[in-house]
Structure 1
C-alpha cells in the first residue's frame, strides 16, 4: 500500500509541472502565466535553472580594531593579590584580578601566567580563579591580547607568597 502511494505521489508531481506562457498586452507590459492566453508563447525553462547570488564578504573591523588597540598605550594592572601579599589557603585556591586602562570598548582577551607558564585559556574579563596551587613564592603576569592572540599590553610581574598549613 505504501509503495502504491509513493508511486502515485511521484507521478502526480511529474504531472504538476505547469507550462509557462508569456505574452505582451496592448500597453506593452510582459506577462507570465500558467494559463494559455491569446498570442501567448510557451516559455521553455531549463531543467537546471539555479539562482545564484554572490554575497560580498562581510567587512571585518577586527583588523581596524586591532590596529586601534595597538596604537594606544594600554596598561594592565593586577589589583589583587597585592605585591608580596601572603595568601593563606590550605587548598591552594585564590583569585587574581586584573584591569586594563584606558578602558576598552571592543572585545579583548586576558591571559594569566603563573611563574612564566600560561594558566588556562585566554578569557574575556580579568578575574582568574586559581585552584590547587603549590605553596611557596609565585610570580603573576597578566597579558591583554587582541582577538587574534597578539599581546598588546602586559602587567608588571607581581610576586606573592602562598602559605598552607603543614599537613600531618
Structure 2
C-alpha cells in the first residue's frame, strides 16, 4: 500500500513539473512563480538540487486486522448472600466476588458499602471488611480502570450486620 502511494505521488509530481520563474518587484522583494511575468527570468534547476529517492524493496505481509472489542465484565457477589444476616460483634466479614471474563490488565476492583468506598481498588476478588457498624448495608463491587472510570458494577447486595449486646 505504501509503495503504491509513493509511486502515485511520484507520478503526479513528475507530471506537475513546470518551469519556475523568478522576478524582483519595485520594492526589491524576490518572487517565484510557475507563470511568466514581465521581466521574469527562468530558474534553471541543477541535477544535484533535485531530490532523488531510492526505494527499498518491502515485503507486504497479510495480517488480519485485530479489532479491539470492549470487554464486557460481569461481576457477581458470591458471598454474603442477598439479605443475609451476618453476626459479628466486631463488624468484620469478607465479601467474595466472581468476575467473568478474567480481569484485564490495568483494571481493579473497589468495594462500596452504602455508596462509600470501603476497600481501596485491588485485583483480588476477596475483600476484608473491618469495623462495620450494625444495621442494614448495601454492598456493591465496581471494576475501575486506571483513571477511575467505572467499567462494570455488580448488582447491589443488601446485608444485615447483627452485633449482640448485653442487656442490663
- TM-score, normalised relative to structure 2: 0.55
Q: Which residue of 2 aligns with 1:117?
A: 116
Q: Which residue of 1 aligns with 2:133?
A: 134
Query: Which is higher, the Rg of structure 1 or of structure 2?
Result: 2
Where in structure 2 are the equivalents of 1:9-158 lying within 5 Å? 71-158=70-157
CA distance in 1, matches of 2:145, 2:82: 27
Runs of 4+ in 1 over 4 A off after TM superposition: none
Q: Bigger CA drift: 136-145 or 116-125? A: 116-125
> Following TM superposition, by how much is the alpha carbon of 1:146 offset from its aligned partner in structure 2, in angstroms?
1.6
> Following TM superposition, by how much is the alpha carbon of 1:152 offset from its aligned partner in structure 2, in angstroms?
0.5
Count of matched residue pairs:
101
Q: Cα deviation per residue 1:20-57 (whole Å; 9 max; x = unaligned)?
A: xxxxxxxxxxxxxxxxxxxxxxxxxxxxxxxxxxxxxx
Q: Which residue of 1 aligns with 2:32?
A: none
Q: What residue ranges of structure 2 are gaps of 5+ in the alignment?
A: 1-66
CA distance in 2, matches of 1:157, 1:115: 10
CA distance in 2, matches of 1:115, 1:131: 15
CA distance in 2, matches of 1:130, 1:101: 23
CA distance in 2, matches of 1:159, 1:134: 14
Q: Cα deviation per residue 1:144-164 (whole Å; 9 max; x = unaligned)?
A: 112232110000000001011
SS in 2 for 1:82: coil
Q: What residue ranges of structure 1 are gaps of 5+ in the alignment?
A: 1-66
CA distance in 2, matches of 1:125, 1:112: 11
SS in 2 for 1:134: coil
Contact 1:141 1:155 in 2 (8 A): yes
CA distance in 1, matches of 2:113, 2:166: 24
Contact 2:119 2:127 in 1 (8 A): no
CA distance in 1, matches of 2:68, 2:117: 26
